[in-house]
């Protein structure tokens, strides 16, 4: 029954006077890109972009007529109970029962994210008298394994050589094709999975490249490193050639594998510095002590990736560890503050992780026929991911995680994968360009690269101090 007199309940679009004449800009840390809204759409049409990261799932809801950001979601990936890294989860999922469990957790989290976002949007729309939100489209990005779990595809091809994915995505299909008719989404809701390049260069890397301007031919080199448990990297050379690779950095940057490691949340040591102890009798005692910056400002409960990088860079600069990472004061650990210390094994795990990043970048540079020095004046390094966004560029350079020549050419790109997915939520033309980018990329398999092992071993040590 249609009402004849409006009660201003907010559940209908009203008289249609909502203004939709402004395209917004998505901006994350050092990157920004226009979102091409469609003013012809009703104001209650909503789109959601989602990044299923190995560690964290993040999503954003937008009003499609003017690209207004309506709500955000972020939560630890429910899959972590099955393994801290993607390799462990792929292994777990090779058995039917394991795959069923991971798939169920993935769908449960997608459902939770969508319902939470639409719940917040519904409340906002009611107050604005825009009607009930209508989910018009959903874009999902993530590495190839995460996208496969979400889409209901086997990951057995990712578990053993030659490591091939059954499907590389890049198509829009009705929700029922991916999630079945029992989905919480309406059966015909368009769902788009961003295109992957290969088994270990996923849609998240292609999305991140889109957000970081890899489509723009500037004649300068662009390097992307999405730093996390599995570090995906890409290099666009001045000639327009695109090279990609993936290096297993391990979970140290996420706080795992570190004795007192934790995620970057309240209670985590995020930065370490040195201060001189208070004066006694008018004279400085001269003794230095560590000062730890703790997220949330309370007592330290552990240390996250940025704190680990900060502490180890400080250890090296102050001679607490030598060039090969060994503690030189006859002790197996160093206390940073009450309840938090780093041991020799923690330092070794950090070295393994940072060497994976540096040697991967060097492999890309070599494949492009460049030298690291060629990058000094005409290149940009985009660091993406939660850890990559917050790290200190000088600390990364001092420890040899990135080439020192790139320290001043570094851009913190935030969750570039999600930013790229948001761009693809709005622009169908960009989807074709994303697919072309994935097909254009040349993948470097580091396991088959003859020089990688020696580069990796060399990268374990810390570089000479300036």
pLDDT value of residue 251: 77
If phi over 0 gives left and psi between -120 and 50 gives alpha, with beta otherwise, what is residue 174? beta
CA Rg value for the chain: 24
Q: Give, for 433, the enclosing helix (H) or strand (E).
A: helix 428-440
347 and 462 Cβ atoms separated by less than 8 Å: no
H helices, E strands: number in the chain: 12, 19
Domains of the chain listed by start with CATH number: 25-203 (3.30.420.480), 206-251+348-420+427-460 (no CATH), 259-320+330-340 (no CATH)
Helices (H), 152-219: 175-179, 203-211
Pick left, alpha or beta for residue 294 (phi over 0 → left; psi -120 to 50 → alpha; otherwise beta). Answer: beta
Any long-range contacts for 94-98 (C-beta under 8 Å, 24+ apart)? 94/155, 94/156, 94/159
Q: Is 415 exposed, middle or buried (0-12, 13-18, 19+ CB in 10 A)?
A: buried
pLDDT digit string (tens) for 425-465? 999 889 999 999 999 999 998 888 888 889 999 999 999 98
User: pLDDT per residue over 226-263, tens digit each?
Assistant: 987 788 999 999 889 999 999 888 778 888 789 999 98
Q: Which phi and psi (to 5°) does residue 304 adopt?
A: -100, -175
Q: What is the pLDDT of residue 228?
A: 79
Please check the confidence at residue 183 and state whether its pLDDT lies above 60. Answer: yes
pTM for the full predicted model: 0.88
Helices 203-211, 144-151: axis angle to 10 degrees equals 120
- Give the span between the Cα atoms of 380 and 378, in whole angstroms: 7
Is it true that the peptide bond before 298 is cis, omega within 30 degrees of 0?
Answer: no
Is the pLDDT reported for residue 193 higher than 90?
yes
The C-alpha atoms of residue 278 and residue 336 are separated, in whole angstroms, by: 18
Share of the chain above pLDDT 70, in %: 89
Please give the mean pLDDT across all residues of the chain: 87
Q: Is 204 left (phi over 0), alpha (psi -120 to 50) or beta?
A: alpha
Confidence class for position 5, pLDDT limits 50, 70, 90: very low
CA distances from 323 to 305, 311, 330, 362 (A): 21, 15, 16, 20
Query: Can you tell me whether residue 364 is helix, strand or coil?
Result: helix
Q: For residue 282, give Cα distances in angstroms to 33, 275, 278, 279, 285.
A: 56, 17, 9, 6, 9
pLDDT band at 217 (very low <50, low <70, confident <90, very high): low
Query: Among 24-38, 43-57, 74-88, 196-210, which stretch is predicted with the lowest mean pLDDT?
Result: 24-38
């Amino acid at each position: 029954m249609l009402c004849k007199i409006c009660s201003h309940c907010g559940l209908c679009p009203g008289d249609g006077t909502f203004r939709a004449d402004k395209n917004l800009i998505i901006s994350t840390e050092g990157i920004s890109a226009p979102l091409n809204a469609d003013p012809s759409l009703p104001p209650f049409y909503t789109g959601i972009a989602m990044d299923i990261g190995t560690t964290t799932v993040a999503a954003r809801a937008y009003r499609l007529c003017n690209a207004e950001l309506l709500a955000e979601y972020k939560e630890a990936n429910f899959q972590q109970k099955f393994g801290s890294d993607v390799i462990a989860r792929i292994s777990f999922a090779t058995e039917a029962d394991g795959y069923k469990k991971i798939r169920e957790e993935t769908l449960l989290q997608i459902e939770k994210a969508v319902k939470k976002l639409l719940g917040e949007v519904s409340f906002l729309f009611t107050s604005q008298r825009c009607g009930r939100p209508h989910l018009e489209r959903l874009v999902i990005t993530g590495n190839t394994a995460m996208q496969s779990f979400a889409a209901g595809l086997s990951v057995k091809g990712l578990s053993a050589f030659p490591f091939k994915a059954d499907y590389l995505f890049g198509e829009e299909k009705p929700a029922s094709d991916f999630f079945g008719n029992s989905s919480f989404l309406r059966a015909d809701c368009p769902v788009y999975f961003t295109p992957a390049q290969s088994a270990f260069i996923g849609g998240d890397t292609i999305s991140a490249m889109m957000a970081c301007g890899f489509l723009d031919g500037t004649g300068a080199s662009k390097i992307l490193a999405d730093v996390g448990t599995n570090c995906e990297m890409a290099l666009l050379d001045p000639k327009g050639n695109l090279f990609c690779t993936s290096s297993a950095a391990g979970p140290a940057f996420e706080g795992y594998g570190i004795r007192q490691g934790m995620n970057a949340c309240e209670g985590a040591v995020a930065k370490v510095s040195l201060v001189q102890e208070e004066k006694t009798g008018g004279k400085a005692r001269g003794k230095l002590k560590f000062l730890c910056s703790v997220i949330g400002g309370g007592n330290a409960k552990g240390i996250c990736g940025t704190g680990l990088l900060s502490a180890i860079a400080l250890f090296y600069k102050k001679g607490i560890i030598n060039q090969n990472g060994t503690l030189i004061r006859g002790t197996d650990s160093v206390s940073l503050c009450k309840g938090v210390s780093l041991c020799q094994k923690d330092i070794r795990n950090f070295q393994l992780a940072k060497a994976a990043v540096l040697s991967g970048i060097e492999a890309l540079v070599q494949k492009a026929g460049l030298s690291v020095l060629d990058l000094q004046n005409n290149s940009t390094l985009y660091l993406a991911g939660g850890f990559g966004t917050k790290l200190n560029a000088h600390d990364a350079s001092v420890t040899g995680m990135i080439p020192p020549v790139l320290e001043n050419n570094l851009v913190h790109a935030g969750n570039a994968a999600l930013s790229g997915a948001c761009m693809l939520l709005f622009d169908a033309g960009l989807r074709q360009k994303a697919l072309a980018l994935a097909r254009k990329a040349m993948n470097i398999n580091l396991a088959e690269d003859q020089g990688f092992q020696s580069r990796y071993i060399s990268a374990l040590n810390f570089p000479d101090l300036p």
